[in-house]
Structure 1
Amino acid sequence: MIRRMPFRCPACDSAMQVTELSCPSCETKVQGTFAVSPVLQLPPEQLTFVEVFLRCRGNIREVERELGISYPTVRARLDEVIESLGYQPPLEPENTLNQLDTIKQFEDGALSFEETLDKLRKG
């Protein structure tokens, strides 16, 4: 069984460093200090999301279907991953934000289907 690599020290919560690599086939070992991708340091739920996103080739509709979540939720999770990696998600045009908010209100039951269509058509 391969365990997930710990990135925080269980004793003092400092960042851990990768200092040894080994070959399971011939048992060769290499020691040093090695860089680890920030992607590997994502929490498990974000790492799972990234794997699904990549498997779906970034197609948000496919990610929605596979994870059973809405378009705004996919976008929100993607923004969370981007922020966790130390980047700022791109700013959305005001119109897009309003549309996503309208869809979220519909999903939450605050708007009927007809009210949602009306708001989306008006922009």
Structure 2
Amino acid sequence: MFKQVNINKINISIDFLNNGSIMKPWRVISMAYKIITKCPVCSSKLIVTKLKCKKCGTVIENDFELSKFSYLTMEQLNFIEVFIKCRGNIKDVEKELGISYPTVRGKLEDVIASFGYTQIKEKEDNSADVIDKLENGEITAEEALDLLRK
């Protein structure tokens, strides 16, 4: 028999044996609300100003910084979890999430931008253009090597 109770906004699940005794210790399903990180009025970033000990009631008030991860959406956090689980291997992330390589790259760039980092322009692969120019006699072999090294 399974029973769920709500005590002070904390959901507790209890498993009972047929005779009514508790089979497993209490398990907390959800304890608190997810912290909001943006102001509902103006969408600016919020800061934490109060911390409280649940055991003794000690309260500390100050301006506390949140982690950059706190400002990510749930979708971004789930993506990052899969990305880390796959040890950064984009092919494995593709398989795990069932999405294409460009979509994985796009999601990764989105997270990087959310952290406040600027996007790094990838070096264009112009080797095919250089080879075409070499074959057409537009450039010399030496010039082609110089272009490919850049």
TM-score range, shorter chain: 0.5 to 0.7
TM-score with structure 1 setting the length:
0.66
Q: Kindly report the root-mean-square deviation, in angstroms, between the aligned alpha carbons of the 2 structures.
A: 2.0
Q: Give the structure 1 partner of residue 80 of structure 2.
A: 50
Q: Give the structure 1 partner of residue 110 of structure 2.
A: 80
In 1: Cα distance, 2:91 partner to 2:118 partner: 23
- Go from structure 1 to structure 2 and tell me whether the alpha carbon gap of 1:55 and 1:26 turns closer, same or farther (over 3 Å shift): farther
**How many Å apart are 1:12 and its aligned residue?**
4.0
Q: Does 1:34 align with 2:64?
A: yes
Q: Secondary structure at the match of 1:94?
A: coil
1:68-121 deviation per Cα after TM superposition (whole angstroms, max 9, x unaligned): 11111111110111111111222222229xxxxxxxxxxxxxxxxxxxxxxxxx
In 2: Cα distance, 1:85 partner to 1:59 partner: 20
| Aligned partner letter, 2:110 | E
**How many Å apart are 1:36 and its aligned residue?**
0.9
Instruction: Name the structure where strand makes up a greater proportion of residues.
Output: 2
| Aligned partner letter, 1:4 | K
| Aligned partner letter, 1:89 | Q
Larger radius of gyration: 2
**How many Å apart are 1:57 and its aligned residue?**
1.6
Q: Secondary structure at the match of 2:69?
A: helix
- Go from structure 1 to structure 2 and tell me whether the alpha carbon gap of 1:12 and 1:59 turns closer, same or farther (over 3 Å shift): same
Considering Cα pairs closer than 8 Å and 6+ residues apart, tell me whether 1 or 2 has the greater RCO.
Answer: 1
Instruction: Name the structure where helix makes up a greater proportion of residues.
Output: 1
Task: Structure 2 unaligned segments of length 5 or more: list them.
Answer: 1-29, 127-150
Q: Which residue, out of 12, 15, 36, partners 2:45?
A: 15
